[in-house]
């Protein structure tokens, strides 16, 4: 995989998909359907998926592609692949809360090593450079010419006063119970993959996820966080979260800056 071309294509397609999503978001009411797993899907999910998938298949025809909105892609057994969530945070989109993202990632040997997370309604875009380092780009976003980039680096956490980010739509009592085992200075909430990016930028130290996620939900944010020096670990044994699992389903996990003194598993 030629890294400069990969990053340029991922960035271009994310911006184009974001523009299409915003056309629908800012327009009149849109149709919301329910998928077989009871999760919602909108015309924006489908339009962004069609745009990104066509672009990736044209640019990288010999590379495996996994995307949330194409169930036929979920039966693959692969260790290196492109993976897409064309609109992560559909509930945020439906409720017009803005915390939704376009996620595109490259997984190599079961680890996400390159990725982009674009939040078009928030005007924030985070991605890895060809060498794997993570940056946030300042808008406005030109598909062909990157703007000013700020390097991302995780915090040096104070374990006596941690900043924690949690899910806006999926937070529950189990998550609150786990967070209570830490010394927390403050908490914030965010939707979609923005939680990974808040840890990557040093705006938060810890993001625990005690709930069902799929690899397309996490791969791009994971790559960005890793590029900023962060970690994503399984909740049960604190080993690195790997990809290409059967059905592309994740266990519970913890994303954090390396200096956080982690607590594994339930009490």
Binding residues for substrate: 68, 87-90, 217
Query: 32: buried, middle or exposed (CB in 10 Å: 19+, 13-18, 0-12)?
Result: middle
SS3 call for 89: coil
Distance of CA 13 to the CA centre of its chain: 15
Contacts of 129 (CB under 8 A, 6+ apart): 7, 135, 149, 227
Residue 208: which H helix or E strand, with range?
strand 206-209
Nearest to 21 by CA among 107, 94, 87: 87
Taking the C-alpha atoms of residue 190 and residue 263, their distance in angstroms, rounded to an integer, is 22
Beta bridge partners of 130: none
Taking the C-alpha atoms of residue 238 and residue 154, their distance in angstroms, rounded to an integer, is 18
Taking the C-alpha atoms of residue 19 and residue 12, their distance in angstroms, rounded to an integer, is 11
Taking the C-alpha atoms of residue 138 and residue 50, their distance in angstroms, rounded to an integer, is 26
Q: Would you list which residues are annotated within the binding site? A: 68, 85, 87-90, 217
Query: 207: buried, middle or exposed (CB in 10 Å: 19+, 13-18, 0-12)?
Result: buried
Q: Would you list which residues are annotated within the binding site for Mg(2+)? A: 68, 85, 87-88, 217
Nearest to 154 by CA among 109, 122, 199: 199
Beta bridge partners of 67: 84
């Amino acid at each position: 995989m030629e890294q400069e071309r990969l990053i340029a294509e991922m960035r271009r397609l994310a911006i184009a998909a974001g523009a299409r999503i915003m056309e629908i978001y800012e327009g009149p009411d849109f149709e919301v359907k329910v998928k077989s797993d009871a999760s919602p899907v909108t015309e924006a999910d489908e339009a962004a998926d069609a745009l990104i998938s066509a672009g990736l298949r044209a640019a990288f025809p010999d590379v495996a592609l996994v995307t949330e909105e194409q169930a036929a892609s979920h039966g693959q057994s692969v260790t290196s692949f492109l993976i897409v969530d064309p609109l992560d945070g559909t509930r945020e989109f439906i409720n017009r809360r803005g915390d939704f993202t376009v996620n595109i990632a490259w997984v190599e040997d079961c680890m996400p090593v390159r990725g982009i997370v674009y939040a078009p309604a928030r005007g924030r875009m985070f991605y890895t450079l060809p060498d794997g380092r993570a940056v946030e780009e300042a808008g406005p976003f030109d598909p062909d010419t990157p703007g000013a980039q700020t390097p991302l680096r995780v915090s040096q956490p104070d374990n006596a006063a941690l900043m924690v980010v949690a899910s806006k739509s999926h937070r529950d009592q189990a998550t609150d119970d786990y967070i209570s085992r830490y010394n927390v200075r403050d908490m914030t909430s965010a939707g979609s993959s923005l939680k990974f990016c808040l840890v990557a930028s040093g705006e938060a130290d810890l993001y625990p996820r005690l709930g069902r996620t799929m690899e397309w939900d996490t791969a791009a944010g994971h790559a960005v966080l890793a590029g900023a020096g962060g970690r994503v670990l399984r909740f049960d044994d604190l080993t690195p979260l790997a990809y290409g699992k059967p059905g592309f389903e994740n266990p519970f996990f913890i994303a954090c800056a390396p200096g956080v003194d982690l607590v594994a598993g339930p009490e």
